[in-house]
Amino acid sequence: MPVFDTRSIRDFPIGNIPLRDHHATLPKDCSIHPEAWIDARDLAALADQGEGSLIDESGLPLAWFSESPASGPALQASNSFVIRHPWDLLRANELHVSLLAESWIPADLSPLVSIDGCVRIGEGTKLLPGVVIEGNVVIGANCKIGPNCYLRGNTSIGDHCHVGNAVEIKNSILLSHTNVGHLSYVGDSVLGEKVNFGAGTMTSNLRHDGRNHRTMVGETLVDTGRRKFGCIVGDGVHTGINTSIYPGRKLFPGTSTLPGEIVRRDVHA
């Protein structure tokens, strides 16, 4: 799957922090499934229980304090799960970023930037006039944001990224060195490293009938469980200007599109 082809799930950043580093903040006496997102509220409930394991809907152990996950009663997780598919990253990012309570904002922020929500901005990042941020957003170091762009939802943007004029990013994950420079919309999507969206590239994230999006995993059409779901874009993808991407489509690492192309099916290398 794109974004997983070039890195392990444990190395993937959630809120710009690799999953393995999230695990490192958990209690040392707690065993964790290596590819699980563990919600602090679920873990607190397990600690209060004092024994047993935290399990997902299928009964798979996610976390346990005992020597074996089979020891003691099982507690059904509410917000913890194994990251199996790229859209699970969006769910983990939503949960993590939505709970951020402390903003990190440069002292020299332009008065022509509007912020409503908790925002964390890395060192050396510039927000140009006309940037509007709504909701909790994480932006890495040495990025250029704006002018006149709109960031909303629980969005994470990595280091050395450029989000430019008349661009809207909603509830998405952008990894480092990725550029969405002009006149584009990215919604409910995951973009890998060193991606470049040509001017006017648009992602669609909503079916006309309002039903959940489905996408191909191998030879199987899988229900993502998401009513809003854009695209999954691997590392090094370049789109031509005015590319339109159907919901739930995947662009594999190193692929590209032509100017004006409509992406109706997954784009494989």
Which residues 6+ apart lie within 8 Å of 208 measured at CB? none
Q: What is residue 227's predicted lDDT score, i.e. its pLDDT?
A: 96
With respect to residue 141, please indicate whether it lies within any of the assigned structural domains: yes
Q: What is residue 218's predicted lDDT score, i.e. its pLDDT?
A: 85
Q: Are residues 156 and 256 in the same domain?
A: yes
With respect to residue 216, please indicate whether it lies within any of the assigned structural domains: yes
Cβ atoms of 155 and 149 within 8 Å: the answer is no
* Catalytic residue selected from 182, 213, 238, 268: 182
Is 22 part of the annotated catalytic residue set?
no
* Of 86, 103, 131, the domain-final residue: 86
Q: Are residues 145 and 235 in the same domain?
A: yes
Cβ atoms of 1 and 217 within 8 Å: the answer is yes
Q: What is residue 69's predicted lDDT score, i.e. its pLDDT?
A: 84
Q: Coil, strand or helix: which one is 262?
A: strand
| Cα–Cα distance measured from residue 154 to residue 238, given in angstroms and rounded to the nearest whole number | 24
Q: Are residues 66 and 197 in the same domain?
A: no
Q: Are residues 82 and 118 in the same domain?
A: no
Q: Are residues 259 and 144 in the same domain?
A: yes
* Of 86, 106, 129, the domain-final residue: 86
Q: What is residue 134's predicted lDDT score, i.e. its pLDDT?
A: 96
Expressed in angstroms, the distance from the first to the final Cα of the chain is 12
Q: What is residue 72's predicted lDDT score, i.e. its pLDDT?
A: 82
Residues of the chain under the 70 pLDDT cut: none
Q: Coil, strand or helix: which one is 170?
A: strand
Q: Are residues 59 and 151 in the same domain?
A: no
Domain hosting 67: range is 9-86
Q: Are residues 72 and 136 in the same domain?
A: no
Q: Are residues 226 and 167 in the same domain?
A: yes
Number of separate domains in the chain: 2
| Cα–Cα distance measured from residue 87 to residue 9, given in angstroms and rounded to the nearest whole number | 12
Q: Are residues 204 and 137 in the same domain?
A: yes
